[in-house]
Amino acid sequence: MAHAAALAWRTHLPDHVRQPLLRFYEEDELERVCNALARPPAHSCVRANTVRISGEELAGRMREELERLAVREGPSEHAGVSRYGEVRVHEVIGDAVVIRPDEHDAREILPEGRELVVSRRCAEAVLRGSHIFIPGMMGCSPHTAKGDVVTVLCDVQDRFLRGASTHILSTRKLDPKRMKGFVSNHMHEVSDEKKQQFRLNNSKLSHLYGDTNRSSDASFPELPEGIVVIGKGVMQVDRRVAMSAKEGLGCIMTECIFRAPPLNGLLPGLMYVQNFPSIVVGHVLDPQPGERILDMCASPGGKTTHAAAIMQGEGSVTAIDRTQAKAAVIRENAQHLGLKNVWVLKGDSSSIPPVGGNVPLPEELEVDAVEPSGGGVGGEVKKKIQFDELFDRIILDPPCTALGLRPRLAVDIPPIEMERTPAYQRRMMHVAVGLLKTGGRLVYSTCTINPEENECNVAWALKALPLKLLRASPIVAKPGRPESDRQRKGEGKEKKEEEQKQEQKKEEKEKKEREGKQWMGKGRNNLQMIKRRTSE
């Protein structure tokens, strides 16, 4: 039986994530944040590669490309407007092109055909406009063939083994034999008790994660917990290839709960797909021609290439990340955009020697050091670099809990990461100060909503490091949470609890003193009584 999907999208936060955030957010405020996190942003954004094209020119080209892509879906419901919405240059950030869909509310999806189950990360990409690539496919209906229409489901909890044959839409149940932890070469090794418990869990129809997929027929059961419908598509490969290949396009999305344009691969070399806040970072940094710029945690290279483009090839941008694979991605993106003033280095930004005079480049960084004069991002030249106060401006976008990324259908951050990440970021800030010239500019940015990693780290840096706070420009959003908020919601709460404990201790002490006095009083009375008897 077909059904329409009724949406109630919300990101579920585990307690070890939720409780630290409640030190800074009110309950209703955090609830609104969770509701927003599960949905994609209201608009998509790309950055014009200004060494080749202006923002206005890119906007015009984008309109043409999106109109061409929209032909197969038919005309827009709004006359004179592209199916993918309005395309315009941002009014403040001139190299940012914004695509705002003509509808942002979640749409109902009427399932049809066979079913395809994708991973959570794949589903999150689809909600931003991506098609489905083979590595994200986890299971599908038996005998699914190329050209078949499929209803795309997401298992938010990522429980499926790749290659599973699924019958979720027809049975409204999950088969334990297809799930992680319940499949082995010898099924008899799985106890009957575990199988029974697993089936019992699957029979529960409440939802933590969002789409309840209600049927128009109230008697028709909902989908199992954690299974959401995200859209429909057309298979580009058959089931055998989909479940065995390691790369390639697997399914073209024809309908999605949230409308967003497929941007990857459009206008190669002329634009870079980048979230708007990340584009703002480059303008706040404000690199000048001839300066030395450092991006300390650079992969995949969005901020690196933006700084290089703003400088129009004059000066140098050094990009560092800790693995060869990440360094290769930065190098590839810089080459793709035609930027010649980028150095790509492999290394750990938390341990670059920040002070001590003429500090040579660590050995692991020497291997990938690249001189702009030697072919920019193309060559590899061993070179000793003095890293003490070398850079005019530094971008520090350190590893974070990424709680601000959208859409986020589930949060799987380990408790230890919530605890250790702020300290790790502070270590990088300390290193950055040693690399920055006196009078230089450090821009610190994250993609998380955790104030411990944002405002609290900035407050720490202003107290512990030789830095002063500058007013960011341009300003395109509301300011962050001031330190006073932390005092009120975080330290203020702890202080209040401490005062309550002290008051409780004081009351207990006074109570004991009163009891002691009463006991002493009884003792004196007894003594008096004894004295009287003695005198008598």
Q: What is the pLDDT of residues 308-319, one digit of tens each?
A: 999 988 999 999
Residue 525 has pLDDT above 50, yes or no: no
| pLDDT score recorded for residue 3 | 36
| pLDDT score recorded for residue 257 | 87
Residues at the binding site are 321, 348, 397
Residue 337 has pLDDT above 60, yes or no: yes
Task: Compute the distance between CA of residue 332 and CA of residue 310 in angstroms, rounded to an integer.
Answer: 19
Contact 302, 274 (CB under 8 A): yes
Q: Please give the average per-residue pLDDT across 161-190, as a whole number.
A: 68
Residue 11: closest CA among 306, 410, 527 = 410
Among 34, 140, 400, 447, the one annotated catalytic:
447
Residue 185 included in any domain: yes
| Token representation of residue 144 | 């699914």
Residue 4: closest CA among 103, 107, 105 = 107
| pLDDT score recorded for residue 519 | 37
pLDDT tens per residue, range 23-67:
999 999 998 888 888 888 888 999 999 999 999 999 999 998 888
Contact 431, 350 (CB under 8 A): yes
Q: Please give the average per-residue pLDDT across 79-95, as a whole number.
A: 78
Angle formed by the axes of helices 324-336 and 302-310, to 10°? 40
Length of the chain: 536
Residues 330, 376, single domain; the answer is yes
Residue 381 included in any domain: yes
Under the banding of pLDDT at 50, 70 and 90, the label for residue 369 is very low
Under the banding of pLDDT at 50, 70 and 90, the label for residue 389 is confident
| pLDDT score recorded for residue 196 | 59
Residue 317 included in any domain: yes
Q: Please give the average per-residue pLDDT across 275-292, as a whole number.
A: 95
Residues 145, 166, single domain; the answer is yes
Q: Amino acid letter at 72?
A: R
Residue 161 has pLDDT above 70, yes or no: yes
Residues 136, 166, single domain; the answer is yes
Task: Compute the distance between CA of residue 465 and CA of residue 300 in angstroms, rounded to an integer.
Answer: 29
The residue to which tokens 């609290």 are assigned: 456
Residues 223, 330, single domain; the answer is no
Most confident by average pLDDT, 119-128, 192-201, 476-485: 119-128
- H helix or E strand, kind and range, residue 151: strand 149-155
Across all residues in the chain, what is the average pLDDT? 77
User: Can you give the CATH number for the domain in which 362 is found?
Assistant: 3.40.50.150
Higher pLDDT, 183 or 238: 238
Residues at the binding site for S-adenosyl-L-methionine are 321, 348, 397
pTM of the model: 0.76
- Residue 514's domain comprises 488-536
Q: Does 447 participate in catalysis according to the annotation?
A: yes
- Flag the least confident range among 72-81, 397-406, 412-421: 72-81
Residue 258 has pLDDT above 80, yes or no: yes
Residues 385, 432, single domain; the answer is yes
Residues 313, 188, single domain; the answer is no
| pLDDT score recorded for residue 300 | 95
